Chain A
Amino acid sequence: MQEQLTAIVAGVRENAPKVQTRAEFEAYKATISGPKGALTDVMKGMGKVPKEEKPAMGKAINEAKTAVTAEFDAVLERIEAAELAAKLGPAIDPSLPSPDSARGTLHPISQVREEMVELFRRIGFSVAEATEVETEHYCFDALNIPSDHPARDMQDSYYLPDDLQVNNVSKEGDEKYLLRTHTSTVQIRTMLKEKPPIRIVAPGRCFRRDTPDATHSANFHQIEGLYVDKDVTLLDLKATLDHFVKTIFGPKAKTRLRPSFFPFTEPSFEMDFFSPDLGKLSNKWLEIMGCGMVDPEVFKAVGIDPEVYTGYAFGMGIERIAMILQGVDDIRYYYQNDVRFLKQFA
């Protein structure tokens, strides 16, 4: 019996390493430890072994079993490894270029717009939206721009025909439709819809009837800000815009409020800034936005009592800020969408 065991173990040690596949392994394993396997046979013979030899015999069988199992485990491990390797294929060359296209990029104007919107959101502004098609009332009259103001010249705005009806843009009377020339229309639409306190920014597309050149584009984008509450002050306006400029253009940027005139704010200012870190544009005053305290006439037009509420408003061209920040000297690049241009700013 001992010889049989020794022979089985020796046989397994010799043959197991030759087994290549899982199927071969299962078949071979059956010839040893299967129901009719050699080792199983020996174990079945234990009953005929004299009582005094049983302990020694038992020990021998266990040793043989351990030895065979170890062999089988090794074989199985080897086969599984081979199977995995076959499944995985050859090792990769990590230096090969990825065949997938690269992540897309937000348009540079979107990037700047988002940066600005995020900045204002952090100080309590929320985003408002309105349509691009507007009427003379919401674009001009309600903003205290009278009908003989130069801004209303046919030369400056794109109008829609008199007989046109726009299904989802409301009119005040029988005024003309036009493409909004500024995002200040959102001020009016918002104040008509909501009660103070109101603190919004409204980014959006605007249209002016300008001959396109390096700084003019048939459509462009603005961001409008409006804060209406009891006791909103000029000091608040300056604090907010200073914060904006220093966040966008860096802490070294200086600002100044240059008195100006807009029909919808009084007092009105142009904000200029000055920065040492702007390449060619460094160290000179650059005009970046119009702003001021909401004119009482505007409040009257939307039914807010100017004796109770005050407010400030500001508006700026997103392309203008983007051009300064990104060093772009021709607005038309933004509308060509050459991907090599688009990807320069992320």
Chain B
Amino acid sequence: MKISYNWLKNYIDLDLVEHSPEVLQEVLPLLGFDIEEIEKLGPPQLSNVVVGQVLEYGQHPDADRLRCCKVSTGNEGEVHDIVCGAKNFNQGDKVMVALPGAVLPGDFKIKASKLRGQPSAGMMCSAKELQIGQDHDGIMILDQDTALGTPVNDLYTDGDTVLNLEITPNRVDVLSHIGVARELAAKFGLEVNYPEVKASTENPAIGDPLISVVEVSAPEVCPHYTAVSIKGVKVGPSPKWLKDAIEATGQRSINNVVDVTNYVLHETCQPLHAFDAAKIQGKKLVVRMATEGEPITTLDDVERKLTANMAVIADAERPLVVAGVMGSVDAEVDESTTDIVLEAAYFAPTSVRATARKLGLSSDSSYRFERGVDPKGVTYASLRAVDLILEVAGGTVDGNLIEEGAEPPTISEVNLYPERVRTFIGFDISDAEMQSVLESLGLGVSIHDEADGTTRWEVAIPSYRQDLQRDVDLIEEIIRVYGTDKIPESEVVARGIGTEDHRIYTVNEAVANYLTGQNFNEAFLYSLRDPEETQFFFGEESHKVLALDNPLQSDQSHLRPSLIPGLLDVLKLNAARGTGATRFFERGHVYREVKGQMVELVSVSFVIVADQITREWRQREVADFFTAKTISGEILDIAGTAASKLTFKPIEDCKLWQAGHSAEAGEFAKMGFQATCGLLNIATLKERWDITTPVIAGSILMTPKFFERKAKRGRHTGVSNQPASAKDLALIVDQSVHAGDVEKDVAKFAKKATQGFNCESVRIFDVYEGEGLPEGKKSLAVTMSFRAADRTLKDKEVNSAFDGIQKLIADKTDYQIRK
């Protein structure tokens, strides 16, 4: 919303306070109207800068370059002492004088002071200092006949400042110059000077309206419609003041009549429309719903097809205006127009919004109607426009103002309890201060002392402030105008509540600490990925389920099912840039398809370049599957699942992982977690990322529900200080048998065969295949550790347990014990 400083001053006497565009720049944002942009048009607005005359001057006693001058600005007997550094003036010259209180461009405040010991109450200015011209070789010397005391802006009138305000959607009333003036009046304690209206709704003496009927067949869209007729206007260019005002708001001046409607819109916030009466067919206006597909060519010269839920203003034949949005070229006021019909109406916000959105057409009118203009402001705006049209285009009003429907109801009163206000804000503002703020905003306060001793205020709400419906809305008004800068500073009071952090956060925090400690760098990637990638890795079903309804870019149309592709992008970028980084991880949410539905999962993934990509004087072992297995296990351990309980199954055929060199444990859909780790598919990496080094990776998926598990607190079970006794066993098994299964079997048998003491651990410590073993077999060496809680174990009892284990193996499995 562009507000012209000059225009604004029509409604508020800013000269009564210290004012300048710069002051407003400070004040308006703190009232809730942020300034997007400030435009300077012509010379700036300056107060206390007036024409003066140098009565006499002399050398400054203590400074060669300065002169001490006596300057008159017209007030009899009042002489200003001014010390001046310029020498281009003579006695009797007329000059521009900035008196104390003036604020020159660049926020240069003029104050009465002393310069090198001599009093100086003002400054004689150069053209540049006043931003009137570029000259700054000396002060401005004016024509001798310039009247003393004339303000600079009266001599140089073209100056204006346009403030482009950001108006929040609740404050439609401030989308107008009067609205801004009201706010400033409240802040500065000034009066708002509303333009006086001379026109009347009733003019029976002067003939009949130019149209005979207004019919409203869509009262829900248009509860109140008015039309007034003006005959004999002379359409032409607007006078300078009108043209300047229209252009200051960023519009193009069209002609005097159209400009007046736009002027009143920017003045009062009420949109208006002027019809060329000659072009209204059948002498009637109808407010009705459009017929489906009805065509209209709007003023922006676009032919549009309307739909049945859009309202129009039509004549007997065709639509002339998309109600509340934009007029058509068919009834446009142009040079040939002599008679006009002026519409002012209230259109329902939701209807205008829906229509404007559907047509993709936003106008100054629709912008205001869809936010809800003053329900009682229609007639005033109409008459104000009549006044201005008669002033700038001539003509006479014909007949009465035609009115259909009535002003929509408004909220008129809101209860406010001053004591509750103080409780709510937490600091003290007196009743009187609150009342004064409300009244400054034009809200009436009537005070009621209730039976229970409380004080209740009935606050009268003006029709243009329909955003004020509840006590909190009024509290906002009080704080806003009272000044947020007056809210006291205080200490943080933090009463303990004792809620725990969500485990998703704490687990993620611990995982990140672990992984950075394992030399991984954290990456952040986009959640939206290329659909082709989703389909390639996760298939058609996922491709369908993970699609956005309204993607912005075709290569970011799908939610990511995995963090790994993004991390490969990171490896690729770092390799291309030669950064030498080999380890990255990401924590983030991913999305998977399960039985045609989407699930959101918490994920952690990591990648490691399993190759020496930098030359080192000493080589370290590169990462392999077991590196990834350890890290994945640790992550799940941090998340609350014992790593020892994971059973990894090899991955067979997969586009992301290398078959035979990667494995998977858990299943998120059933167990709440899933870990996949190992070598990424060599061919895929080469083909899609041009990565030729092997990459080891891990991907952990966890459902949000998984984090709701309560962690169990450990209990002390006693630790034996007796010596342990170890037994080793070599088992020959088929090559396809998994060591993990063998280990589990042996552990199970050991538990069974050991009585009176414990088998503390069973662990595979060697794998052998090759010479000395039959084809297709391998040998697994298992070590078992036995211990009693209370005594040193005797060989005999350990041997007996060991025999028992071997017997169970022989009886229950195909494993062959290697003697």
Contact = CB atoms under 8 A, between A and B. Distances in A.
A interacts with B? yes
A218 interface: yes
Given A126-B497, A126-B499, A133 B598 contact: yes
A107 B523 contact: yes
B618 interface: yes
Given A148-B350, A164-B545, A259-B484, A343 B426 contact: no
Interface stretch (B131-139, B576-584, B711-719): B576-584
B519 A200 contact: no
Interface in B310-330: none
Nearest to A159: B549
A257 B577 CA distance: 45
A218 B522 CA distance: 19
A26 interface: no
A259 B528 contact: no
Contacts of A127: 501-502, 505-506
A124 to B, nearest CB: 4
B23 interface: no
Given A166-B598, A233-B425, A293-B472, A104 B583 contact: yes
Contacts of A217: 526
Given A205-B527, A258-B484, A259-B479, A340 B552 contact: no
B480 interface: yes
A172 interface: no
Interface stretch (A7-15, A66-74, A275-283, A330-338): A330-338
Interface in A269-323: 269-270, 293, 295-296, 310
A197 B579 CA distance: 49
B581 A339 contact: yes
Interface string A100-119: 11111111011000100100
B485 interface: yes
A239 B493 contact: yes
A205 B168 CA distance: 26
Given A104-B518, A339-B579, A231 B480 contact: no
A182 interface: no
Given A99-B618, A104-B515, A259-B484, A124 B495 contact: yes
A243 B492 contact: yes
Contacts of A296: 470, 472
Interface stretch (A16-24, A44-52, A149-157): A149-157
A238 B490 contact: yes
Q: How large is the interface on B (under 10, 10 to 19, 20 to 34, 35 or more residues)?
A: 35 or more
Given A259-B484, A267-B475, A107 B494 contact: no
Nearest to A340: B579
B717 to A, nearest CB: 33
A101 B620 CA distance: 10
Contact of B424 (A207, A219, A234, A257): A234
A141 interface: no
Given A128-B502, A207-B527, A167 B594 contact: yes
Nearest to B612: A99
A342 B524 CA distance: 10
Contacts of B411: none
Interface string B470-500: 1011011001100011011111111111011
A7 to B, nearest CB: 48
A261 B526 contact: no
B403 interface: no
Nearest to B488: A235
Contact of B487 (A96, A154, A200, A257): A257
Contact of B574 (A124, A165, A176, A339): A339
Contact of B527 (A200, A219, A229): A219
B525 interface: yes
Interface stretch (B24-32, B68-76, B266-274, B752-760): B24-32
A339 B521 contact: yes
Nearest to B589: A132
Nearest to B506: A127
A168 B496 contact: no
Interface string B598-642: 111000000000000000111110000000000000000000000
A99 B618 CA distance: 6
A148 B353 contact: yes
B464 interface: no
B520 A168 contact: no
Interface in B423-481: 423-427, 470, 472-473, 475-476, 479-480
A258 B30 CA distance: 5
Interface in A204-229: 205, 207, 209-211, 217-219, 229
B548 A160 contact: yes
Contacts of A207: 527
A270 B599 CA distance: 36
Nearest to A272: B29
Interface string B7-38: 00000000000000000000001111010000
A154 B583 CA distance: 39
B497 A197 contact: yes
Given A104-B515, A129-B504, A211-B552, A261 B168 contact: yes
A2 interface: no
Contacts of B528: 158, 218-219
Contact of A167 (B426, B475, B589, B599): B599
Given A256-B484, A257-B487, A126 B597 contact: no
Interface in A73-110: 96-97, 99-107, 109-110
A65 interface: no
Could you say which of B357, B499, B616 has the most chain A C-beta atoms within 10 Å of its C-beta? B499
B570 interface: yes
Contacts of B588: 205
Contacts of A56: none
A137 interface: no
Nearest to B576: A338
B589 A158 contact: no
B509 interface: yes
A169 interface: yes
B163 to A, nearest CB: 15
Nearest 7 pairs between A and B by C-beta? A233-B426, A235-B426, A259-B32, A261-B168, A267-B476, A124-B494, A339-B581
Given A127-B502, A235-B427, A343-B521, 10 more contacts: A104-B517, A106-B512, A114-B509, A123-B492, A129-B704, A148-B353, A149-B169, A256-B484, A296-B472, A335-B524
26 contacts: A100-B620, A104-B521, A104-B585, A105-B522, A124-B497, A126-B497, A133-B591, A133-B598, A150-B169, A166-B597, A167-B594, A168-B704, A176-B549, A179-B527, A233-B423, A235-B487, A236-B490, A239-B492, A240-B492, A256-B30, A256-B484, A259-B480, A260-B32, A266-B476, A296-B472, A342-B523
